[in-house]
Amino acid sequence: MHFWTKLNHKAIYLVVLLTLKLPLSYAQSQSAIQPATEQARGISYIWWSMFWVAVVVFVAVMLLLAWGLWRGKSKKPTQLSYLASRNLVIVAGIAVPLVTVICLVGGSLMLGRSLSASPPDNALEVRITGWMWWWQIEYLDENSNTIATTANELHVPINRPIQVYLESGDVIHSFWVPQLHGKTDLIPGRTNSSWFEVDVSGTFRGQCAEFCGLQHALMGFLVVSEPQAEFDAWLANQQVPAQPPENNEVLAGQRVFFEAGCHQCHTIRGTDAAGTAGPDLTHLASRQSIASVTRKNSRAHLGGWVADPNGIKPGAKMPMSQLDAKELSDLLDYLQSLH
């Protein structure tokens, strides 16, 4: 009896949630109907309009169908006359859908036009390059020179248009942060662009939305929006090279970094590490998560990731490292010093 009551409660909970179309919001949200920008809000508004129209149409069609069937069950069933049938088809099958569709297309095209227009001149420009399976983020100055490079975590100031230039280093990916905007693909050989302006501070999760191979499912990224002053401080920090090691463990860790070959794929500005196959690690410790938002950026997770990337993301291109406990510990000290 107790089991069935619990099951009932769970069922009711799910049914209510599903019918109310609420995102299951106790978790990290990636919901298109919890917009944080004007762009996403416009899309969400169009969604809800279409949703209610669809509900009305569906209910109307089902009611008509039910009514027609019910008429067949009466004592003297009368079929529709030719004229009534013809009018039903013309009105319900042509006129009403035509009007509805024109409104939908018109509204969508108006919104689409504004979404695809160029952003205002004061937009912050960022180049995002998609790789299998992480995101390279480069902040650009007015002359399109790169002033800071990071990976998987995009910081933006609020109330400022952000223009992202989207390119791919290998296969097609898709840049999608549902709370901020619709998705735009990253296609090799082209530079696509998209722009949005965040109204509130917060952390918004995004994920690759075009099948790109083994670890497509875990190719996430974060967009962190913050007030202009905090953003400026963050960007300034990202621009400076890494601090030299402060103590012996960190220095030992830096040595491990080079001896294990990490510098062949990763860049740490301020050192000789200049590899470009993997994410820039200069300010790794300033990021909230690792492995393209698959794990929190904690010592334990970082250790697990470095020791065996395939344990977390099978097929990831980062090889296993052959470090003993002391070497791993020193390396983690070093990595965690990269604020």
Partner 1 sequence: MKNHPHTEQAIFDDQEGAEPILDKTWLSPPGFFGWFTHVNQRQIGFRFVVTSLIFFALGGLLALLMRLQLVQPENTLMGAEFYHQIMTMHGTTMMFFFAVPAMEGLGIYLVPLMLGTRDMSFPRLNAFGYYVYLIAGITLYLALFLGMAPDTGWFSYVPLAGIDYSPGQGVSFWTTMITFIEISALTAAVELIVTILKQRAPGMTLNRMPIFVWSILVMSFMIVFAMPTVMVGSVLLALDRTFATQFFVASGGGDPLLWQHLFWFFGHPEVYIIVVPALGIVSTVISTFCQREVFGYTAVVLSMVTIGFVSFGLWVHHMFTTGLPHLGLSFFTAASAMIAIPSGVQIFCWIATLWGSKIKFKTPMLFIMGFFAVFVIGGLTGVMAASIPFDMQAHDSYFVVAHLHYVLIGGAVLPFFAGLYYWYPKMTGSMLSERLGCWSFWLIFIGLNLTFFPMHQLGLDGMPRRVYTYLHNMGWGEVNFFVTCAAFLMAFGFLLTFINTLISPYKSRAAGNNPWNADTLEWWAQSPPRNYNFRHLPVISSRTPLWQKAPLYKVTGIRADRREIIITTLLDAKPQGVCIMPSPTYWPFVLALTVGFGFLGFMFKPILFVVGFFLSFFAIVGWLWPARPWLAEKPPEEGHPVRGLQ
- Residue from 239, 232, 234, 266 nearest 334 by CA: 266
Interacting residues with partner 1 between 127 and 146 (CB under 8 A): 132
Closer CB to partner 1, residue 202 or residue 245? 202
The answer to whether the Cα torsion of 291, 218, 167, 288 is positive or negative is negative
Interacting residues with partner 1 between 31 and 70 (CB under 8 A): 31-33, 40, 42-43, 46-47, 50-51, 54, 57-58, 61-62, 64-65, 68-69
Size of the site for partner 1 (CB under 8 A): 94
Q: Are 312 and 283 in contact (CB under 8 A)?
A: no
Closer CB to partner 1, residue 84 or residue 274? 84
Nearest approach in angstroms of CB 319 to partner 1 is 17
Residue range at the interface with partner 1 (CB under 8 A); choices 18-26, 143-151, 251-259, 323-331: 18-26
The total number of residues shown for the chain amounts to 339
Q: Based on the shown chain and the rule CB under 8 A, indicate whether residue 233 belongs to the binding site for partner 1.
A: no
Q: Based on the shown chain and the rule CB under 8 A, indicate whether residue 218 belongs to the binding site for partner 1.
A: yes
Nearest approach in angstroms of CB 115 to partner 1 is 6
Fill in the per-residue mask, 165 to 184: x = in contact with partner 1 (CB under 8 A), - = not in contact: -x---xxx-x-x-x--xxxx
Tell me the three state secondary structure of residue 168.
strand
The answer to whether the Cα torsion of 6, 8, 13, 17 is positive or negative is positive
Nearest approach in angstroms of CB 24 to partner 1 is 4
Closer CB to partner 1, residue 105 or residue 274? 105
Residues 283-315 as b/e (b if ≥16 CB within 10 A, e otherwise) read bbeebebbbbbbbebeeebbbbbbbebeebbee
Query: Which residue type occupies 110?
Result: M
